[in-house]
Structure 1
Amino acid sequence: MHNGEAIVAACHELAAISSDTGQLTRCYLTPEHARANALLAEWMVEAGMTTWQDAAGNQWGRFEGRDPALPALVLGSHSDSVINAGHFDGPLGVLLAIAVVARLNASCERPARSVEVVAFADEEGTRFGTALLGSRAVAGTWDPAWWDIIGRDGLTLRQAFFDFGLDPARIGEAARTPESIAGYLEAHIEQGPVLEAERRSLGVVTAIAGARRFQISIGGEAGHAGTTPLELRRDALAGAAEAIVAIETLARAAGIVATVGSLETYPGAVNVIPGEVRMSLDIRAERDEDRDRTLEAIQESCGRIGESRGLAWRWHETHAAPAVACAPRLIESLSEAIGTDDGPVRHLTSGAGHDGMAMAHVCDIGMLFVRCYKGISHHPDESVQARDVSDALEAMTSAVTRLAG
């Protein structure tokens, strides 16, 4: 894997390991996970690394530096996928990391510190509904309550560990100490359209946005659509519509993102005024204080809408993750490695979650974004250009050479 074309070809080869015929689905602790680890281990060995699978099922490789006692620089991403996935979300970062080590191995001088590559086994959470299981194990933030989670196939996480050949009692062995890691770098497709719109191949991530999610119930009163005057209605859907516009307006003014992605009406008949609406809210920002301040404004606005329309609001928070800032020294190293004659390097916030959110508990993190076609992700149309991947390989190699000394 010496250039972008070879890395793209390897991504396609890895994508052939799937539980579904004709589409990519590769979940945690499955036979496909084991086959992917085996293939990645082969490529790691070819690049000059020693390899192992840790107690959580993550696949590792290590390229020894001149001073093995120094903390290692870790590169990587994830090897699992969503259902009917694209070929690059996750695997591109793993294969770029392997290619970087291959270049280091081919150079005249080894770096001072060792460089490790990790393919995290569960970032997406497709099988068990809890994301970042692989990287959380490495960060030492594994929650014992997860053992009883029942996956999509009816098996508990504990049983899946046994079936895969792992011992749940040894999960703590996957954890790394802050003293053993000098930093974590991940290359990833942008999963957004900014780089493409600006005709840039690469960008540097400054932070991974903090997200909060809610299930919201709006209670009104059902009634006949033909006989109830508008002024006497308690239409839950009309209130929801007004709230959605307010959510967009407030988020836009704050410079953050907020999305209502799910909306259900009850009773759901064409000739009945909706008496209840259930909808979701996903709100994200680079800074938690901006997100939470906007959320408070949204809730106040919804309260006013409820008062004016006679509606009752119930909020249930289903997810909360704090924003994670990338380390200034790693942002600087990646930015210098990209370089550009077209002005400053593009810095972006990642609106999507990544393994770096877990790794930040144990070390500094940095991320490089690679342009992807129309920002499409989690879909078979996910696509990158080989020349952009070559640019990413040059930048990552430069940054790693500097950081690993």
Structure 2
Amino acid sequence: MSRCDELARISATPGSIERVYLSPEHARVNRLAAEWMREVGMTTRQDAVGNQLGRIDRAAAGGAPDPDAPALLLGSHLDTVPDAGRFDGIVGVLMALEVVRLLRTPAPRDEASTVALPFALEIVAFSDEEGTRFGKALLGSSAVAGQWSDDWWALTDADGTTLREAFLEFGLDPGRVAEAARRPDELVGYLEAHIEQGPELDDRGESLAVVSSIASARRFQLTVEGEARHAGGTPYDRRRDALLGASEAALAVERICRGEHHIIGTVGRLEAYPGAVNVVPGEARLSLDLRGEFDGERDRVWLAIEREIDEIMGRRGLRWRAREVHSAPAVFCAPLLQDVVREGIASTLPAGADDPAVIFSRAGHDGMAIGALTGVGMLFLRNPDGISHHPDEAVSAGDVARGIQALAESVLQLAADRA
């Protein structure tokens, strides 16, 4: 918990937490994470896209390290949104470090530590889960999964710096990005601990949960076109107010999604143009973030939203269009990894307790990308009131302690299954 506080002090914005991809703050937290990895006996490296990794080999015959053994990957991310909390992503990396501390086999001086497991352990601190700087999430984990797109090099930040330029400024070689990709045979799976970012565990009065899947997501930029006219001189029956049409569309999103099970729609941005106090808005732009447990349900709701917006704009004499800017399918956690996480959580509960909660994640995670490479498992920790991406984000030391125990036991359960 003190290390969460220590990382929180590494920020681009005094008085709040902000660490974005390929920034000086990114470099600082990588150096600190590498120091902590070496402290528990791991060898460390920064990969070709800026992810920080540590590895501790399994013991081969005679106790010597086995550098060719496949690894179980543990971790999360260290980047943040602006004005962030101190636990989103971060606590998962630090819990992974404590699991390695618990499971390693101490080595004599000048020899490498190992683990008495049928696989190696690796920790990854992903570099860009949030997508804050360049508007594209999961850059670090996408590279590890071998899903890097050359189209991303042209992405720019708020200052006009391209992703390619930022790579070079950080000391990375854009021509070596493919070296970050891992092969499926190098890994036995990926386990991540994360705060829930929702209130379900808190409402249930439980500390930990098994994650069943990570929500599918689609994001759109909607543009509404009307006619800009003088605010005082244009009567209501002559107005084609784009902002009112966009506002009604935003309310329609809420109405439609509230009637659906496990579908969440959010309009997070609404802008009016020309933006003058005495001009009827001639254009409005709004974002739409649509998430669901299943791809088909999510897409069906989008079609319903489209029909409703068509009706709104037709009635108001407006035109509209939508541009999809992000699409990600639902990722289902591997049954075996769900089972070992369930057993891990059960080990922290008193005899006769109910089975651990099973929750699907409405928030996105690096596992969405890593799922294309290997099986994914996740453990959620209770987040009081469910608030996240905010300075009030919280998790208790007691729940973190139980989470470390559960995650370590999950690793041991997986090892027993593979023995």
Give the whole-Å Cα distance in 1 for the aligned partners of 2:249 and 2:13.
40
Shift of 1:182: 0.6
Asked if the contact 1:73/1:404 (under 8 Å) is kept, the reply is no
Q: 1:147 to 1:273 in 2, by over 3 A?
A: closer
> In the alignment, which residue of structure 2 is the partner of 1:82?
81
Give the whole-Å Cα distance in 2 for the aligned partners of 1:83 and 1:278.
22
Shift of 1:62: 1.2
* Runs of 5+ consecutive residues of structure 2 not aligned to the other structure: 61-65, 107-113
The TM-score normalised by the length of structure 2 is 0.87
Q: 1:390 to 1:211 in 2, by over 3 A?
A: same
1:178-231 deviation digits (Å, cap 9, x = unpaired): 010110011111112221122121122211112112222233455677776666
Q: 1:165 to 1:192 in 2, by over 3 A?
A: same
Q: 1:21 to 1:48 in 2, by over 3 A?
A: same
> In the alignment, which residue of structure 2 is the partner of 1:250?
256
Q: 1:302 to 1:342 in 2, by over 3 A?
A: farther
| SS of structure 1 residue aligned to 2:125 | strand
| SS of structure 1 residue aligned to 2:259 | helix
> In the alignment, which residue of structure 1 is the partner of 2:208?
202
Shift of 1:279: 2.1
> In the alignment, which residue of structure 1 is the partner of 2:321?
314
Percentage of matched positions with identical amino acids: 54
Return 266-275 or 23-32, whichever deviates more. Answer: 266-275
> In the alignment, which residue of structure 1 is the partner of 2:44?
51
1:141-173 deviation digits (Å, cap 9, x = unpaired): 111232333334443333332333322222211
Give the whole-Å Cα distance in 2 for the aligned partners of 1:167 and 1:229.
60
Return 33-42 or 238-247, whichever deviates more. Answer: 238-247
Choose between structure 1 and 2 for higher RCO, CA contacts under 8 A separated by at least 6 residues.
Answer: 1
| SS of structure 2 residue aligned to 1:64 | strand
**Which structure 2 residues correspond to residues 4-403 of structure 1 after superposition, within 5 A?**
8-67=1-60, 68=66, 69-105=68-104, 110-221=116-227, 234-255=240-261, 256-266=263-273, 274-339=281-346, 340=349, 341-403=352-414
Shift of 1:273: 5.2
Shift of 1:104: 0.1
RMSD of aligned residue pairs (Cα, Å): 2.5
1:217-256 deviation digits (Å, cap 9, x = unpaired): 2334556777766666544444444433332222122211
Specify the code of the residue in structure 2 equivalent to 1:243: A
Give the whole-Å Cα distance in 1 for the aligned partners of 2:36 and 2:366.
22
Q: 1:20 to 1:241 in 2, by over 3 A?
A: closer
Give the whole-Å Cα distance in 1 for the aligned partners of 2:15 and 2:239.
50
Give the whole-Å Cα distance in 1 for the aligned partners of 2:249 and 2:78.
39
Give the whole-Å Cα distance in 2 for the aligned partners of 1:267 and 1:18.
35
Shift of 1:17: 2.3
Q: 1:105 to 1:243 in 2, by over 3 A?
A: same
* Runs of 5+ consecutive residues of structure 1 not aligned to the other structure: 1-7
1:46-84 deviation digits (Å, cap 9, x = unpaired): 212222221222111112113534421100011122223
Asked if the contact 1:56/1:137 (under 8 Å) is kept, the reply is yes
Give the whole-Å Cα distance in 2 for the aligned partners of 1:166 and 1:133.
14
Give the whole-Å Cα distance in 2 for the aligned partners of 1:354 and 1:148.
24
| SS of structure 2 residue aligned to 1:65 | strand
Give the whole-Å Cα distance in 2 for the aligned partners of 1:369 and 1:43.
23
Asked if the contact 2:58/2:115 (under 8 Å) is kept, the reply is no
Give the whole-Å Cα distance in 2 for the aligned partners of 1:348 and 1:314.
35
Return 127-136 or 295-304, whichever deviates more. Answer: 127-136
Give the whole-Å Cα distance in 1 for the aligned partners of 2:202 and 2:162.
41
Give the whole-Å Cα distance in 2 for the aligned partners of 1:135 and 1:331.
21
Shift of 1:383: 1.7
Specify the code of the residue in structure 1 equivalent to 2:27: A
Give the whole-Å Cα distance in 2 for the aligned partners of 1:338 and 1:303.
48
Count of matched residue pairs? 398
The TM-score normalised by the length of structure 1 is 0.90
| SS of structure 2 residue aligned to 1:317 | strand
Asked if the contact 1:59/1:120 (under 8 Å) is kept, the reply is yes
Asked if the contact 2:105/2:116 (under 8 Å) is kept, the reply is no
